[in-house]
Amino acid sequence: MKSLIIIILLLPTFCFSQVEQHIEAFSESYALEAVGNFAKGIQEIENLYDENSYEMNLRLGWLYYNLGNYFESKNKYQKAVDLMPYSIEAKLGYVLPVSAMGNWNDVMRTYENILEIDPQNTLVNYRMGAIYYERKEYEKAFSYCEKTVNLYPFDYDSVVLLGWINYQMGNLREAKVLFQKSMLIKPNNQSAEYGLDLIK
C-alpha cells in the first residue's frame, strides 16, 4: 500500500519529466536540422522513440527523408498515417520519400486518398493535374486543375498549367485566355509567352 502511494505521487513527476525530455529532444533535433546534421537529429528522437507517438513518427519521417533514407522515412510516415488516418499532413509527408524513390503509383494512390478526405485540397488537386499532364492524360489533368483555378483564380501555377492543358486538348481559345490571365499575375512569364507564340 505504501509503495502504491509512492508510485501515485511520483507518476506526475515522471510523466512531466518524460514530456520535458521529449520537448528537449525535439528542440535539439530542430537545431541539428538547421545545421544540416540530420543523422544526429534522428538520434535525438530515436533515443526516446515511441512507435505509438504520431509526432515522433512524423518528425522522424521528415528527418530520414532529408538524410536520403527514403525507405525508413516512408516507414515512419506510414506509421504516422496509421496512427492518424485522417491526417493530411502525414500523407503529404508520406509522398515525399515515395516520390523520391520513383514510386509514383503510390503517390497517386495517396493523393486520391487525401482527396477523399478533402476534395477541395488545392495543393493535391494541382499536383494531380501536373502528374496527369506529364502522363499526357489531358482530360484527367483538366478535371483536377480546373478545380484549383476555380478556387484560386489568381494562382499563377494553376492558371498557366490549365492554359497548357487546354492547349494540348486543342482548346486554343481557352488556352489563350488563360495564358493572358497568367500574364496579369506574373507579367513576362516565359511559359505563357511561349504558349501564346504557339497559338498565333
Residue-wise DSSP of 86-119: T-HHHHHHHHHHHHHTT-HHHHHHHHHHHHHH-T
Q: Compute the least distance from the CB of residue 5 to another protein, in Å.
A: 48
Binding residue for another protein, selected from 43, 53, 103, 191, defined by CB under 8 A? 103
Strands (E), the chain: none
* Residue 67 in the binding site for another protein (CB under 8 A): yes
183 neighbors 191 (Cβ within 8 angstroms): no
* Residue 46 in the binding site for another protein (CB under 8 A): no
Contacts of 60 (CB under 8 A, 6+ apart): 42, 45, 46, 49, 72, 73, 76
Binding residue for another protein, selected from 22, 37, 88, 104, defined by CB under 8 A? 104
When the beta carbons of 45 and 98 are compared against another protein, the nearer one is: 98
- In angstroms, the Cα distances linking 168 to 37, 119, 147 are 45, 25, 18
Whole-angstrom distance, CA of residue 185 vs CA of residue 98:
33
When the beta carbons of 57 and 73 are compared against another protein, the nearer one is: 73
Q: Which stretch binds another protein (CB under 8 A): 12-20, 88-96, 97-105, 109-117?
A: 97-105
* Residue 102 in the binding site for another protein (CB under 8 A): yes
* Residue 137 in the binding site for another protein (CB under 8 A): yes
Binding residue for another protein, selected from 3, 52, 105, 188, defined by CB under 8 A? 105
Q: Compute the least distance from the CB of residue 118 to another protein, in Å.
A: 25
* Residue 20 in the binding site for another protein (CB under 8 A): no
Q: Compute the least distance from the CB of residue 100 to another protein, in Å.
A: 9
Q: Compute the least distance from the CB of residue 121 to another protein, in Å.
A: 22
32 neighbors 60 (Cβ within 8 angstroms): no
Whole-angstrom distance, CA of residue 153 vs CA of residue 171:
19
Q: Compute the least distance from the CB of residue 98 to another protein, in Å.
A: 9
* Residue 70 in the binding site for another protein (CB under 8 A): yes
Contacts of 163 (CB under 8 A, 6+ apart): 175, 178, 179, 181, 182, 192, 195
Applying CB under 8 A, which residues contact another protein?
A: 67-72, 101-106, 134-137
